[in-house]
Chain A
């Protein structure tokens, strides 16, 4: 389909955590490619190693076997949104978003952070502390922080899990708008079939622990995707495929 080399190749990736009886295997020989600008959703039962996989890709954990190849990028810039907003409570909205740029020594950190604040709709809250923000706002700060340094790879770990349904769907719109404007490569963990189908180019379903890739589904729904899309028969078919794979 495409001749561009993958931005990311996983080969037989396994992850085992030490425990009292021979180690707990979280991932077992996971292999897949991700192409530049692809939006990949990861679905799988709780505890099957989705977060572990993202943490390996972010360089936080080392796999116990197999390897991760970022091709020409070697050391990609990573933006990660964790399951919790994970903000620094002693930094304001603006300062939290500026963090990645501060670490890389970027000169116009503030200008870029302010642009991101506008993008995620937090104008007016630049100087608020995290504890003054609602859950949804904090999560948007986390998303802005993950995007501000223009990462090669955006890793999202159930980014909208803590939000109410209305906010969540608004965030879908915002995320797909941001992604289309910036064209990053995204890997997003989610529990929601409609979230995966609304946002992703491709959905990977993992088995229960130890996680293996069970289904690799292309989502060929046209973009921009709107709410009404959910009532089309094609959407229904894709959703059924996913549901069967998840069990």
Chain B
């Protein structure tokens, strides 16, 4: 006799520890391969530093506080740019989704603007707005703008017509329809756009810093390259990866918390 009906056991679900072990093994293999290539390949450290070199360099910049301060600069640029770009894109996306006239008026420009490689106009923005954080903030905001805009439009358009009918039959006001229907209905697609925007904004900040800056992780990459301090370049790159993953992770966590209703099992 069975007391309960249970789903068939599932390896990936039942054994998170196994997944962790496999991940660690993969990381260890990668490091070992890297160390071997660097040592046996006879490559000088300014071409390919070994993991041990990078680790030593990491401890140095960590100790003198420079890694933290440059990371904070890039983080600030990426976050403020993400915020501004996302807010602007959301407002604009909502208006476009609600108005065919506005869509026909703006979408040719918006689509054309995507053909401009941001990397190519980054130098212009740095010339116009200086090597400080503001030009990077602008680049981030611009790069974040489009994916968030598109997903806002798609999300708002996808609100089921039948739910609009329900709100009308209940005599909901415009504001109530926005808050109780459109926002929650568009949220899954919107957050998908924000998740893409979060990684793009780190890229935007670094591109700006590489073009011209006196602070930030992109600046650190430039310094390392200029001084043949390749280990420092590696440290900066790893810091950037960590930064992008953190921002991505924050949005992914927000998705998980806000969209619980999507993830329940049937």
Contacts and interface: CB of A to CB of B under 8 A. Distances in A.
Contacts of B160: 86
Interface string A90-110: 110000000110110000000
B59 interface: no
Contact of A88 (B163, B259, B266): B163
A58 interface: yes
Contacts of B163: 86, 88
B264 A132 contact: yes
A5 interface: no
Contacts, number: 58
Given A90-B261, A131-B264, A102 B165 contact: no
A236 interface: no
What is the interface of chain B mostly: helix, strand, loop, or mixed?
Answer: helix
Contact of A103 (B165, B170, B266): B170
Nearest to B183: A90
A154 to B, nearest CB: 11
Interface string B89-116: 0000000000000000000000000000
B261 A82 contact: no
A37 interface: no
A88 B184 contact: yes
Contacts of A121: none
A244 B263 CA distance: 50
B155 to A, nearest CB: 13
B180 interface: yes
B169 A59 contact: yes
Contact of A89 (B171, B172, B261): B261
Interface in B231-266: 259-262, 264, 266
Contact of A82 (B165, B176, B181): B165
A90 B163 CA distance: 12
Contact of A80 (B169, B180, B264): B169
Nearest to B167: A103
A75 B162 contact: no
Interface in B148-195: 160, 162-163, 165-172, 176, 180-181, 184-185, 187
A59 B172 CA distance: 12
A132 B165 contact: no
A199 to B, nearest CB: 21
A60 B177 CA distance: 14
A235 interface: no
Contact of B264 (A75, A99, A103, A129): A129
Contact of A84 (B162, B176, B185, B260): B162
Contacts of B266: 131-132
A78 interface: yes
A99 B171 CA distance: 12
A163 B182 CA distance: 29
A55 interface: yes
Nearest to A80: B169
Interface in A99-145: 99-100, 102-103, 129-132
A58 B261 contact: no
A59 B168 contact: yes
Given A90-B261, A131-B261, A58 B184 contact: no
B23 to A, nearest CB: 31
Which one of B160, B162, B166 has the highest number of Cβ atoms from chain A below 10 Å of its Cβ? B166
Contact of A102 (B166, B180, B187): B180
Interface of A: 55, 58-60, 75, 78, 80, 82, 84, 86, 88-91, 99-100, 102-103, 129-132, 149, 155
15 contacts: A58-B165, A59-B171, A86-B163, A88-B181, A88-B185, A89-B262, A90-B185, A90-B187, A103-B170, A103-B172, A129-B260, A131-B261, A131-B264, A131-B266, A132-B264
Given A90-B261, A103-B176, A149-B170, 16 more contacts: A58-B169, A60-B165, A60-B169, A78-B170, A82-B166, A88-B181, A88-B185, A89-B261, A89-B262, A90-B184, A99-B170, A129-B260, A129-B264, A130-B261, A131-B261, A131-B266
